[in-house]
Amino acid sequence: MRKFILTILLFLCTLGAFAGEGMWLPFLLQEINEKDMKAKGLKISAEDIYSVRDGSLKDAILIFGGGCTGEVVSNKGLVFTNHHCGYGTVNNLSSVKNDYLTDGFFAKNQGEEIPCPGLSVRFIRKIEDVTASIMDGITEDMDKETRDKKIKARAKSIKEKAALESGLEISLKSFFYGNEYYMFYIERYNDVRLVAFPPNGIGKFGGDTDNWAWPRHTGDFGVFRIYANKDNKAAAYSEDNVPYNPKRHFKINIGGLQEGDFSMVYGFPGSTQQYLTSDGINETMNVLDPARIKIRAKRLGYMEAAMKESKANFIKYASKQARVANYYKKWQGELLGLKLNDAVNKKKAKEREFLSWARKNPVRWAKYGDIIDKQKALYQNKEQNELQYNYIRECLRASELVALGRYGDSLLTVNDLYSRKDDFKRIVKRIASGIKRMDVETDRKITTALYEMYRTKFGEANEISDQSVQAMYSSSVFSDISKLNTLLDSQNPLDITKAIKEDPVYLASKYITTENKKVLTDLRPDIISLRENYRTYMQGLREQSKKPLYPDANFSLRLTYGKMEGLEAQDGMQYNMYTTLGGAVRKRNTEVEEFNMPQRLVDLYEKKDFGRYATWHKGKKDVPVCLLSSLHTTGGNSGSPIMNAYGELIGTNFDRIWEGTMSDINYDVNLCRNISVDVRYVLFIIEKFGNAKWIIDEMDIVETRHY
């Protein structure tokens, strides 16, 4: 009997240890996670999720644009991602006349799909462990700088060779703070077109008020299509291109979900810091987060005021505001969560445990005994530089006009009298389009306020003084294209050189680059030492741990699994596993832009015109909108597929709850949940709201729930 209880206990422990936490490497699933996943309910094999052979689910996952995930949902290259992931692209396609952000866009057929210049998607074709080749000849006794340089050079040559041999893009990433290295073979598709995009009243419903929070009613999805050439190969945009036929696409399950169902998210989590020492957490809490929040509050005030002034300004700032507001809020949640949950003291307790484990063995003690103290000293030493680095990024780089100063160097290097006119024209065009993208008066206000914040903290300098800032907007050639043209038309190259070199925008831009370099040079030795110490610390943590640890997120392909579940988020406050369209309609407020849902959607709700996408909710028919699950996700996981136990798509991940925003530093399954948009809501909006059933007809839809 005792043995039996012990076995049960042991069993529960292994499972408990895994609950929800972890962003696992897909090529190690079989070795590390498959047994646990099966025990929790997975019905397919690790090989179905990731295989070196073509056709596993990994071939249906992609990097969308610069920092999101997407999934292929038809054999004609149809892609689902989030509304907020396509927001910048669709903002660029929009104008006062064609405002797809406010009005949405649903192509009526393939011919109406809109090309998206600058947008690309990337598939991971192969992953290779290159740790041994990177480490060959690299020894522990090398000094840190040399080691760092050698590894960088080695990585560069391995990448170049692989790129040459494969004809693919290569990315080589370090895992566990430089203890392991993996190489990713990437195929990029540059012809991506917009297929469907709900209006803000659906895709951004709830806006910043509901961002990072539950209950949530945002239809945060967008639909795109990948095009390839006639041989199904990646190609630049061309009218002759055809829909891309993928190696794998998702089946979609609309059969319904229940609390406790196994689920998983597969995608590209950007960055986490799960193994930070307590002093690292302190830095985020006491130095970085408060500063960044304060600065962004100022900047947002001006952006939001401008957006209310005119439609033109709305289009100019919509995507920029969303980006700035997102982390402005996230850092507040993170700070609050770290405080409320005593993250620093919890980490200190773990550190004490680690040290007493190390103390038990003299070899270990020699290696790990002083590691945490060393990190403390480094964090203290770099604090001011780190803060300044963040201030430069958040304050000085917030000015869009000053950012245009970078073209000054190109203007100065145009010497060849024959090509001068053409070269100038090209540069002027770029500057002109930069000016068009901002409201100059709003930018002046932002620059004035944020440069003052910077000066108050880090001292006066001529180039960024208030006087210079005002001159930038009144007399700089970078803020006035006609002035710039007059200057460039002058026959005397010396005049041009002199004017540019004295221009306040150019001077500020130069100053910022130089300051940034200085700070980085000062920071570098500490950063390298910190990283090296973390490499050692990580070895210790892995030795100490009885279960396998997962590496921090680094925007490489990962799988996380757990279940569909709500949460008692705060004392007396229960979060359900899903929300409904009925709930969204009740939240509607036509007076408040963030909650101004289109009347057409309300009409559909009232007519109960839900097609096959309805569920029974409290005795009434309704459409599920958002879902909660205990899966470990982070920024970059937006747009990732959330799947059932059979690997079928049940939604698209897009956010986390307020109580768990600290999860990048201190994941806790009792506080953290990820939020997805239910695929039934996505299909309902496309078919009933967008009248675009032709898109649905391409998909493989499973209508029944598997038991």
| Residue positions annotated with a catalytic role | 84, 220, 638
- Residues 399 and 463: their CA atoms lie apart, in Å, by 14
Sequence-ordered list of residues with C-beta below 8 angstroms from that of 676, at least 6 positions apart, any chain: 265, 626, 627, 629, 642, 650, 651, 652, 653, 654
Q: Which of ligand ARG, ligand ASP, none does 554 bind, CB closer than 5 to 8 A by kind?
A: none
Least gap, CB of 671 to ligand ARG (angstroms): 17
Least gap, CB of 614 to ligand ASP (angstroms): 27
Residue with the two structure tokens 């952006």: 303
Q: Identify the burial level of 592 via C-beta atoms within 10 angstroms of its C-beta, where 0-12 means exposed, 13-18 middle and 19 or more buried.
A: exposed
CB atoms within 10 A of CB 695: 24
Q: Does 655 bind ligand ASP (CB under 6 A)?
A: yes
Q: Cβ closer to ligand ASP: 88 or 201? A: 88
Instruction: Considering only residues 617 through 636, tell me which ones interact with ligand ASP, judged by CB under 6 A.
Output: 633-636
Q: Does 71 bind ligand ARG (CB under 6 A)?
A: no
Pick from 375, 638, 640, 674 the residue near ligand ARG by CB under 6 A: 638
- The β-bridge relationship of strands 242-243 and 105-106 is unpaired
- Residues 341 and 352: their CA atoms lie apart, in Å, by 18
Q: Is 256 helix (H, G, I), strand (E, B) or coil?
A: coil
* Token pair of 169 as six digits: 């893009």
Q: Cβ closer to ligand ASP: 264 or 453? A: 264
Q: Does 322 bind ligand ARG (CB under 6 A)?
A: yes
DSSP state of 232: S
**Spatial contact of 124 and 168, defined as CB atoms under 8 Å apart:** no
Q: Does 332 bind ligand ASP (CB under 6 A)?
A: no
**At CA 553, angle to CA 551 and CA 558, rounded to 5?**
85
Phi, psi dihedral angles at 622 (to 5 degrees) = -155, 170
Binding mask 579-618 for ligand ASP (x = CB under 6 A): ----------------------------------------
Least gap, CB of 238 to ligand ARG (angstroms): 32
Q: Does 637 bind ligand ASP (CB under 6 A)?
A: yes
Taking CB atoms, the residue at the shortest distance from ligand ASP is: 638
**410-417, long-range: CB < 8 A, 24+ apart:** 411/488, 411/496, 411/500, 412/496, 412/497, 412/500, 412/501, 415/493, 417/493
Q: Which of ligand ARG, ligand ASP, none does 193 bind, CB closer than 5 to 8 A by kind?
A: none
Q: Does 325 bind ligand ARG (CB under 6 A)?
A: yes
Range in contact with ligand ASP (rule: CB under 6 A) among 106-114, 454-462, 493-501, 654-662: 654-662
Q: Which of ligand ASP, ligand ARG, none does 636 bind, CB closer than 5 to 8 A by kind?
A: ligand ASP
**Spatial contact of 671 and 340, defined as CB atoms under 8 Å apart:** no
Q: Which of ligand ARG, ligand ASP, none does 325 bind, CB closer than 5 to 8 A by kind?
A: ligand ARG
Pick from 128, 208, 370, 452 the residue near ligand ARG by CB under 6 A: 208
Residues in the chain: 707
Q: Cβ closer to ligand ASP: 64 or 458? A: 64
Q: Does 638 bind ligand ASP (CB under 6 A)?
A: yes
Evaluate the CA torsion angle 178, 130, 264, 39 in order and state its sign. Answer: negative
Least gap, CB of 624 to ligand ARG (angstroms): 19
User: Residue 59, Cα to own-chain centre: how many angstroms?
Assistant: 20
Q: Give the torsion through C-alpha atoms of 343, 344, 346, 350, to 10 deg.
A: 130
Least gap, CB of 273 to ligand ARG (angstroms): 16
Q: Does 593 bind ligand ARG (CB under 6 A)?
A: no
Q: Which of ligand ASP, ligand ARG, none does 81 bind, CB closer than 5 to 8 A by kind?
A: none
Least gap, CB of 637 to ligand ARG (angstroms): 9
Q: Cβ closer to ligand ASP: 299 or 656? A: 656
Pick from 69, 174, 200, 211 the residue near ligand ARG by CB under 6 A: 211
Pick from 110, 133, 232, 326 the residue near ligand ARG by CB under 6 A: 326
Find residue 242's DSSP bridge partners.
Answer: 228
* Token pair of 135 as six digits: 């480490």
Q: Does 200 bind ligand ARG (CB under 6 A)?
A: no
Q: Does 635 bind ligand ARG (CB under 6 A)?
A: yes
Q: Cβ closer to ligand ASP: 68 or 285? A: 68
Q: Does 680 bind ligand ARG (CB under 6 A)?
A: no
Q: Is 223 helix (H, G, I), strand (E, B) or coil?
A: strand
Q: Cβ closer to ligand ARG: 334 or 655? A: 655
Q: Does 21 bind ligand ASP (CB under 6 A)?
A: no
Least gap, CB of 212 to ligand ASP (angstroms): 8
Instruction: Considering only residues 68 through 97, tell me which ones interact with ligand ASP, judged by CB under 6 A.
Output: 68
Q: Which of ligand ARG, ligand ASP, none does 212 bind, CB closer than 5 to 8 A by kind?
A: ligand ARG
Q: Which of ligand ASP, ligand ARG, none does 548 bind, CB closer than 5 to 8 A by kind?
A: none
Please report, for residues 122, 190, 516, the alpha-carbon distance to residue 228 in angstroms, rounded to integers and kept in the order given.
13, 9, 41
Find residue 514's DSSP bridge partners.
Answer: none
The per-residue b/e assignment along 202-234, b for 16 or more CB within 10 angstroms, e otherwise, is bbbbbbbebbbbbbbbbbbbbbbbbbbeeeeeb
Instruction: Considering only residues 640 through 669, tell me which ones interact with ligand ARG, judged by CB under 6 A.
Output: 654-655
Pick from 147, 329, 656, 673 the residue near ligand ASP by CB under 6 A: 656
Q: Which of ligand ARG, ligand ASP, none does 445 bind, CB closer than 5 to 8 A by kind?
A: none
Please report, for residues 219, 323, 400, 512, 645, the alpha-carbon distance to residue 446 in angstroms, rounded to integers and kept in the order given.
32, 16, 9, 16, 49
- Residues 621 and 171: their CA atoms lie apart, in Å, by 48
- The β-bridge relationship of strands 641-643 and 114-115 is unpaired
Sequence-ordered list of residues with C-beta below 8 angstroms from that of 608, at least 6 positions apart, any chain: 614, 621
Considering only CA atoms, which of 172, 67, 191, 73 is closest in space to residue 126?
A: 172
Q: How many residues make contact with ligand ARG (CB under 6 A)?
A: 12
Instruction: Considering only residues 448 through 467, tell me which ones interact with ligand ASP, judged by CB under 6 A.
Output: none
Q: Cβ closer to ligand ARG: 322 or 512? A: 322
Q: Cβ closer to ligand ARG: 382 or 673? A: 673
Considering only CA atoms, which of 22, 27, 52 is closest in space to residue 40?
A: 22
Q: How many residues make contact with ligand ASP (CB under 6 A)?
A: 10
Least gap, CB of 656 to ligand ARG (angstroms): 7
Q: Give the footprint of ligand ASP on this chain (CB under 6 A).
A: 68, 633-638, 654-656
Q: Which residues bind ligand ARG (CB under 6 A)?
A: 84, 207-208, 211-212, 322, 325-326, 635, 638, 654-655
